[in-house]
Amino acid sequence: MANMINSGTRPALPDQPRDRRRKKIDATSYLYKVPFAFGWNREIVLRNTYPRKKKKGDVYYYSPENVKFRSIKEIFRALPENGILKTKHFLMAPIPTEVNDYRTEFIRKAGTKPKEYMEFNNKRTRNLATEEEAAVNGMGVKEENIAPSTSQLCCHCNNYHN
């Protein structure tokens, strides 16, 4: 029988050349937009390389907790095992997902930080602050901001008495 590939599932065909072309990535797929629904943000930084035949760049993801991730391995370590988000939902190629919202996905050139970037950055920190405030008391009110009550809740009738 012909040579078997390591997995033993199909024979190797030495007379056929391997197709070394990369698969085309459909960056507009809904699969890559799932993290945005969970509060993740994506930043593409295009490198200043010449000649510009191919645009090269770096992709960074920011978690809802405002942690910056530079690789899929870092994201994999941070995701919960039984969570809805998987690494297949994150696109590390510097291709826009066409969300059309620069506050969710921001594209910029290396060495530049336009005014929209500041809004993108402020949105991430604002979301973090509002989530902390909402989680403090379950209703968005910090307990230290609640005025102390002079009346006490009665343990017998569950009414307030002075």
Q: Is residue 11 part of a domain?
A: no
* Domain with 41 in it: 30-129
Tokens coding 30: 């809904």
Top mean-pLDDT range of 46-55, 73-82, 92-101, 142-151: 73-82
Q: Is residue 65 part of a domain?
A: yes
Q: Is residue 64 part of a domain?
A: yes
> How many CA atoms lie within 13 Å of 86's alpha carbon, on the beta-carbon side?
3
With beta carbons less than 8 A apart as the criterion, state whether 104 and 39 touch: no
Q: Is residue 134 part of a domain?
A: no
Q: Is residue 155 part of a domain?
A: no
- Residue 161, Cβ neighbours under 10 Å: how many? 9
Which pLDDT tens digit goes with each residue over 7-63? 555 555 556 666 666 678 888 889 999 999 999 999 999 888 766 667 789 999 999
Indicate yes or no: pTM above 0.95: no
- Residue 35, Cβ neighbours under 10 Å: how many? 23
Q: Is residue 135 part of a domain?
A: no
- 113's CB contacts (< 8 A; 6+ apart) are none
**Which single residue is written with the structure tokens 């969970």?**
38
Rounded percentage of the chain residues whose pLDDT exceeds 90: 29
Which pLDDT tens digit goes with each residue over 113-152? 777 777 777 766 655 555 555 444 444 444 444 334 444 5
Q: How many domains does the chain divide into?
A: 1
Determine the Cα–Cα distance for residues 65 and 40; give it in Å rounded to an integer.
Answer: 9
Q: Is residue 71 part of a domain?
A: yes
- 94's CB contacts (< 8 A; 6+ apart) are 44, 46, 55, 56, 57, 58, 59
Q: Is residue 55 part of a domain?
A: yes
Determine the Cα–Cα distance for residues 120 and 116; give it in Å rounded to an integer.
Answer: 6
Instruction: Please name every residue paired with 106 in a beta bridge, in sequence order, or none if there are none.
Output: 43
Peptide linkage before 94 cis (omega within 30 of 0): no
